[in-house]
């Protein structure tokens, strides 16, 4: 049996999904820390400072990329599935054609 090809979009989806979870969690922590007035989040550097300045756009871009990659993965699954289905149908049709083209001597019917 031939080995099924792996969809190249699945590893990308998993990687981007992990990045999205980290980004969304960081953004949530930043938002919760922003409600506490005792800390000045605008002076922060590093990941929290980056999320404060660019977090909303980062999350929007990640969601759009996740959507596009999902559509691409589904589309390539459909194409691969249709190709496999066509091969299976062709084999089945060839077998049906061979079995339906038997001669009368093969079926035991004399004319």
- The answer to whether residue 96 scores a pLDDT higher than 90 is no
Q: What DSSP string runs through the chain?
A: -PPPPPPTHHHHHHHHHHHHHHHHHHHHHHHHHHH-TTS-GGG--HHHHHHHHHHHHHHHHHHHHHHHHHHHHHHHHHHHHHHHHHHHHHHHHHHHHHHHS--HHHHT---
pLDDT averaged over every residue in the chain: 79
Question: How large is the average pLDDT for residues 78-102?
Answer: 64
Percent of the chain with pLDDT over 90: 38
pLDDT at 47: 87
Q: Where are the domains of the chain?
A: 7-78
Q: How confident is the model at residue 3, as a pLDDT?
A: 67
Over residues 28-52, the pLDDT tens digits come to: 998 888 887 665 555 778 888 899 8
């Amino acid at each position: 049996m031939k080995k099924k090809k792996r969809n190249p979009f699945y590893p990308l989806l998993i990687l981007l999904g992990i990045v999205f979870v980290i980004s969304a969690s960081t953004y949530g922590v930043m938002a919760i820390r922003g409600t506490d007035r005792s800390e000045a989040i605008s002076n922060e550097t590093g990941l929290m400072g980056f999320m404060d300045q660019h977090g909303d756009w980062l999350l929007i871009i990640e969601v759009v990329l996740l959507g596009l990659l999902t559509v691409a993965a589904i589309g390539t699954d459909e194409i691969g599935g249709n190709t496999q289905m066509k091969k299976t149908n062709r084999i089945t049709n060839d077998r049906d054609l061979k079995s339906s083209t038997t001669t009368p001597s093969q079926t035991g019917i004399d004319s």
